[in-house]
């Protein structure tokens, strides 16, 4: 459903939102990759992508790290689009050039409603909602 990168991205955003609900301190790469149990260097790349996509803010330097702009409302669809692109929402399920009501593929009308429901759920779920769920054992720091 989601790429590995996207899975990490969702975990990252959830973890940072979770952390920042408690304190305003910046969250650093090391803490993040340990918390979500992901490879450090690869996680750095995803953090870069999220920052470029303006879903995260960052500051460099000795006390640098990542943080969220609290005034910004971010939902799951934003994250998925930033990392995997819009294909989950827009592309034809069978790989045809365009997904369209006229000239539909054999799955189009079969799954249109289900896809839309999924899309709407992702659009309507913001990161602070999922941050409240941060308690999975073995990841998200046992504290």
Partner DNA sequence: CTAAATAAAGATATTAATATCCTTTTATCT
Partner DNA sequence: AGATAAAAGGATATTAATATCTTTATTTAG
- Cα dist from 61 to 26, 46, 58, 66, 92, whole Å: 12, 19, 10, 12, 44
* Backbone φ, ψ for residue 66 (5° rounding): -115, 150
Binding to DNA (CB under 7 A): which residues in 18-77?
A: 28-30, 38-42, 44-45, 47-48, 51-52, 58-66
Interface ranges with ligand FES (CB under 6 A): 92-94, 96, 99-100, 104-105, 107-108
| Interaction between residue 7 and a second copy (CB under 8 A) | yes
**Contact of 139 with 12, CB cutoff 8 Å:** no
The residue from 22, 60, 61, 95 that contacts a second copy (CB under 8 A) is 95
From DNA, ligand FES, a second copy, none, interface partner of 60 (C-beta below 5 to 8 A by class): DNA
The DSSP annotation for 46-61 comes to HHHHHHHTTSSEEE-S
Please say which residue, 57 or 119, places its beta carbon nearer to ligand FES. 119
Question: For 5-130, where are the E strands, in sequence order?
Answer: 57-59, 65-67
Smallest gap, in angstroms, from Cβ of residue 125 to a second copy?
6
Question: What's the CA gap between 50 and 113, in Å, rounded?
Answer: 29
85 Ramachandran zone, left/alpha/beta (phi>0; psi -120 to 50) = left
Cβ proximity to ligand FES, 28 vs 104, nearer residue: 104
Assess 131 for contact with a second copy (CB under 8 A). Answer: yes
Judged by the rule CB under 7 A, the positions of this chain that interact with DNA are 3-5, 8, 28-30, 38-42, 44-45, 47-48, 51-52, 58-66
């Amino acid at each position: 459903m989601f790429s590995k990168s996207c899975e990490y991205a969702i975990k990252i955003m959830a973890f940072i939102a979770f952390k920042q609900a408690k304190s305003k301190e910046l969250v650093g790469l090391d803490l993040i990759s340990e918390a979500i149990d992901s490879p450090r260097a690869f996680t750095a790349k995803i953090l870069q992508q999220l920052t470029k996509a303006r879903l995260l803010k960052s500051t460099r330097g000795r006390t640098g790290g990542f943080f969220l702009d609290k005034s910004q409302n971010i939902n799951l669809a934003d994250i998925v689009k930033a990392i995997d692109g819009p294909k989950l929402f827009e592309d034809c399920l069978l790989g045809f050039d365009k997904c369209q009501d006229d000239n539909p593929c054999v799955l189009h009308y079969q799954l249109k409603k289900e896809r839309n429901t999924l899309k709407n759920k992702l659009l309507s779920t913001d990161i602070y909602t999922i941050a409240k769920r941060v308690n999975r054992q073995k990841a998200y720091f046992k504290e």
